[in-house]
Structure 1
Amino acid sequence: MQNTRNVLTPDNLGLLQSIAETGSFAAAARQLGLVPSALTYRVRQIEDALDVLLFDRSARQARPTDAGLELLREGRRLLEDVDAIANRVRRVATGWEPQLTLSVDGVISPTTMLELVEAFYALEPPTRLKWRDGILSGTAEALTSGHADLAIGVTEGASNVAGLQAAPIGELRFIFVVAPHHPLARLPEPISDSQLRAHRLIAVADSARQSQVTMGILPGQDVFTVDNMRAKIQAQLRGLGAGFLPEPMVRPYVQAGHLVARAVARPPRNVRMCYQWGGSGSSVPGRALQWWLGQLQSQATRQALLENHHHF
């Protein structure tokens, strides 16, 4: 008995499709330029290898059996997959990457990112996109460790790996906010470190594996650590703790009175954000990365990435 892989070739699957479409072995043989005996022999080889009957030969027409119908269905799907793979390979050969991974920090607007993803897919590229969430130094680490091709929302100067290229997105202002019913909402301003230390801080965990960066935690302070910015906002809305948050992200909550901005004794926190790509051994950017870098050159896009947090 032949190995099934040897008989379930694209050629043989196409031959079976021809028999089903023309309705007879003789007509399929004419269409494929084969002598009828050669076509019949190939069908028998497939049937022997699978140990099934694919066509009912008792009628004038070659009618597929239930097993034959199933093979024709799956065969059609396999042939479409083969064509799709061939098209993808041809397009990748024109300079498109097979996959592009984006490492996106939690302070970046998901709405604007999805608008960019939508515009990218409108090109019908052969490139598969992957989006990784990052926090603090983890956003850049995904790039430097080879797990991402483009990091969006990196703190300027956070990583200086050889060959890494960077360009600015803009400055992000962090403000100290609490729920209106939180005790810190009633203290006179500016609130001192000793007063802050007596209350729980809500912190976002660094997504880096190698180094754990923490921001604004005072010695001996109780900390509730969450995994992302959205969870941090929700925790602070409930009054579970206090902390600094990007002003554009909390602007709607402050305007609605659900959070209160408070002046603290420590210096204001303004963070310069950038995007990074490349790295050691990196070659000329592929067409997908070039497209993303082109979009990020727009001042309006960069501003929207930091500001557009009103449509969760």
Structure 2
Amino acid sequence: MNAATAFTPSLRQLRAFRAVFHLRKLSAAAEQLSITQSAVSVLIRQLEDGLGTRLFDRTTRSLRPTPAAAEAIAVAERILRDVDSLGAGLRDLGALRRGRVSVAVTPTLGEILLPAVVRRFTKQHPEIQVLVDDCSPEQFVSRVVGEHVDLGIGTPERAAADVDTRKLLGDTLAFVCRKDHPLAARRQVRWADLVRQPVITVRPGYGIRPLIDGAAAQAGVQLDVVNDVTFLSTALWMVECGLGGAVMPSAYALGSGRTGLAVRKLHAPVVSRDIYLVTKRGRSLSPAAQALAVVIEGELGRKNEHS
């Protein structure tokens, strides 16, 4: 391999070549590039030496491009256009003038937590597209770890060494009932109080059900589950219809906007169901993802203060 074959022109050399090709004078090229005339001369000479061919014939008054220069200019200009386009695109991404960000969230949490976040974020950054992956609870962590999304909002069902978590919102399991229910008048409801009460909750093995079954077993209670549902929204309208009380995270019940329901934190034991911002460990967030994380923490921080 000879030197010309191995040679890779620098961007400074290509820009000097383009300027001299069009302006025909070293002085004019130097003024356009904001460098000295001798610097332009050196860059052109380096480029010619590296390519092993003469690009300009020198005259007393100007530089005349050679046939080799006439062939090379199209390639040089294409490279410089691509580089300039790349730089502009990266600046736009950094300045949040374009791009997209994706977030994984379960349908339940998405319904109560994301509307305010998305409204605020899109108002601040209208050129950024927000993509929502409404996945099931068991898929939540894998969507983040597999880099299908930039970040996630939720409660990881298991500790994962390959994710980082930041607490967004404190939450606990609660008993939700109509305001005319016998337990609605109590300031504090224990798991033991649910004995012989018809209970509606999520289906076995899904989402929070293992937590519910574990807490009931710890309290020595056999729950009378009259309806297993897939979506907590289903449990809420069933409660409104008088089919029983429901066990669910308090954040969802309080965020549903159903004013006819009482939400009572369950005690003995209290079961935490805190909500986290989840990212893949060691993965840098894009500027758009970082901006969304700031909005998420701001919006949910206010919700936590008022809950």
**TM-score normalised by structure 2 residue count:** 0.52
Instruction: Give, in whole Å, the separation in 1 of the partners of 2:195 and 2:137.
Output: 22
Instruction: Give, in whole Å, the separation in 2 of the partners of 1:204 and 1:251.
Output: 21
Residue of structure 2 equivalent to 1:158: 158
| Residue from 227, 233, 253 that aligns with 1:224 | 227
Pairs within 5 Å for 1:121-160: 121-122=125-126, 124-125=127-128, 128-134=129-135, 136-155=137-156, 158-160=158-160
Residue of structure 2 equivalent to 1:214: 210
Q: Which has the higher helix share?
A: 2
Instruction: Give, in whole Å, the separation in 2 of the partners of 1:189 and 1:253.
Output: 21
Pairs within 5 Å for 1:17-96: 91=89, 95=93
Structure 1: which amino acid aligns with 2:225? D
Residue of structure 2 equivalent to 1:15: none
Corresponding residue SS for 1:109: helix
Structure 2: which amino acid aligns with 1:146? E
Q: CA-to-partner distance for each residue in 1:79-101, whole Å, 9 max, x for gaps? A: xxxxxxxx899636865796432
Residue of structure 2 equivalent to 1:43: none
Q: Do 2:171 and 2:273's aligned partners in 1 also have CA atoms closer than 8 Å?
A: yes
Question: Measured at CA, do residues 307 and 103 of structure 1 come closer, stay the same or move farther in structure 2, by a change above 3 Å?
Answer: farther
Q: Do 1:154 and 1:273's aligned partners in 2 also have CA atoms closer than 8 Å?
A: yes
Q: CA-to-partner distance for each residue in 1:44-91, whole Å, 9 max, x for gaps? A: xxxxxxxxxxxxxxxxxxxxxxxxxxxxxxxxxxxxxxxxxxx89963
Q: Do 2:178 and 2:240's aligned partners in 1 also have CA atoms closer than 8 Å?
A: yes
Corresponding residue SS for 2:195: helix
Q: Do 1:136 and 1:213's aligned partners in 2 also have CA atoms closer than 8 Å?
A: no
Instruction: Give, in whole Å, the separation in 2 of the partners of 1:120 and 1:207.
Output: 36
Residue of structure 2 equivalent to 1:234: 237
Shift of 1:119: 2.9
Instruction: Give, in whole Å, the separation in 2 of the partners of 1:95 and 1:206.
Output: 42
Matched length: 211
Instruction: Give, in whole Å, the separation in 2 of the partners of 1:252 and 1:285.
Output: 29
Instruction: Give, in whole Å, the separation in 1 of the partners of 2:154 and 2:238.
Output: 23
Shift of 1:150: 0.7
Corresponding residue SS for 2:155: strand
Structure 2: which amino acid aligns with 1:266? A
Structure 1: 5+ residue runs without aligned partners? Answer: 1-86
Shift of 1:102: 0.7
Question: Measured at CA, do residues 272 and 284 of structure 1 come closer, stay the same or move farther in structure 2, by a change above 3 Å?
Answer: same
Question: Measured at CA, do residues 205 and 144 of structure 1 come closer, stay the same or move farther in structure 2, by a change above 3 Å?
Answer: farther
Shift of 1:285: 1.8
Decide which structure has the larger Cα Rg and report it: 2
Structure 1: which amino acid aligns with 2:286? G
Instruction: Give, in whole Å, the separation in 2 of the partners of 1:213 and 1:202.
Output: 7
How big is the alpha-carbon RMSD for the aligned residues of Structure 1 and Structure 2? 4.4
Question: Measured at CA, do residues 199 and 188 of structure 1 come closer, stay the same or move farther in structure 2, by a change above 3 Å?
Answer: farther
1:273 maps to 2:275: yes
**TM-score normalised by structure 1 residue count:** 0.51
Instruction: Give, in whole Å, the separation in 1 of the partners of 2:167 and 2:190.
Output: 32
